[in-house]
Amino acid sequence: MKSRSGPLTDITVLDCTMALAGPFGSAILADLGADVIKIEPPGGDMSRGTPPHPPDFATPSSERQAGCDYGGYFGSINRNKRGIQLDLKDPAQREIFLRMCERADAVVENMRAGVMDRLGCGYEQLSARNPRIVYGAIRGFGDPRTGESPYVDWPAFDIVAQSMGGLARINGPASQTGYPAGASVGDLYPGTLLALGVVSAVHEARRTGRGQFVDVAMADAVAFLCETVVANYGYEGVSLGARGVGHPNLCPFDIYPTADGSVAIAAPRPRQWEDLCRAMGRPELIEDLRTVNVRARVENRALVNDAIEQWTCCLSKTQVVAALAGKVPCGPVNSAQDLFEDPHFRARDMIQEVTLPGDNPTVSIAGPPIKFTQTPTTVYRRAPLLDEHRAEILAQFGINEES
């Protein structure tokens, strides 16, 4: 049986996050070995009921233990966590949380600014009980503690962060003026940064004895992710538009059609371009002044892409990749089924199986992408049922709920 492992096994995190951004960040910490305790309000995380659902998904609270009370969305990003339900509006329940904070390394939440403060569970209240505690927060537009924003009270979801941070403007077909990414980047990337910030602050707290407030604004994270948008405008005053499947500064760096799908090919460097030209049977393009270097190829993008498409469209994805692999960066555009069948992801343990509670089949979720030689990471625990680990968590913190 798999057990908790990774470089963060000595860190305890109280996870008050819900939906996607926060739980994704705390899942990274859990994958790295941290003891992540998911604290849910009455009724649980709002995302528990989001599909896909297992066969015996049960929504009424009276039926929860009869089957599985969460769908695949929740299960994927709350793996490796234990769960307890606490009503922070109730003084007795809030005191349990505060006592847990006295022995925890970090607390993370993704509510609007001021919500936890009004509940008596904000950073200053927790720091008074435990000066070493790290408090991590994800909000749409940040927290006033680290910088005032005129949008501080605005709610935000992934698509809002993608749009305001600049990603939607450069994403999608070239004719579009706004196109969100297929993955929820406006949630996932802020969650990733929060995990890094929390680990960094815990490191500092152990060195100095003082914790601190860690703040990630979703809009800020996406703007940081879109560094090319900032750099192109900051250097040359160029406001990038939707890029389609190409790259504004590199060529070829695109997705090309094949007889059975499409492939990504990127050959911006001289040797890569030469190898690609030879593989296509077009060696004359190596010295052609219109394609001799990357700047020329960017200016003559249509010529370059037409030459590549004439070659790829007559071949299968497998044939194109076989002709270029090891020399020119390339890869097939994979579907979900392709991911499951690709030997790379199996070899890297990126498709992992978990057994759901109740009368459900074993299901697959994405495994941890951060690998270690000495402290391996894995999915060792499915996501918790609501309040599933209450007794053992309270015992861990020396709390007798009856007293």
Positions marked catalytic:
187
Rounded CA-CA distance 108/118 in Å is 16
With H, G, I as helix, E, B as strand and everything else as coil, classify residue 255: strand
Rounded CA-CA distance 24/350 in Å is 16
Write down the number of H helices and E strands in the chain.
17, 11
Measured from the Cβ of residue 180, the count of other Cβ atoms closer than 10 Å reads: 18
Rounded CA-CA distance 110/138 in Å is 5
Q: Quick one: CA dihedral 191, 197, 199, 205, positive or negative? A: negative
Q: Tell whether omega for the bond before 91 is within 30 degrees of 0, i.e. cis.
A: no
* Maximum C-alpha span of the chain: 84
CA contacts within 13 A on the Cβ side of 306: 6
Contact criterion met (CB below 8 Å) for 191 and 109: no
DSSP 52: S
The two three-digit tokens of residue 210, written as one number: 């003082």
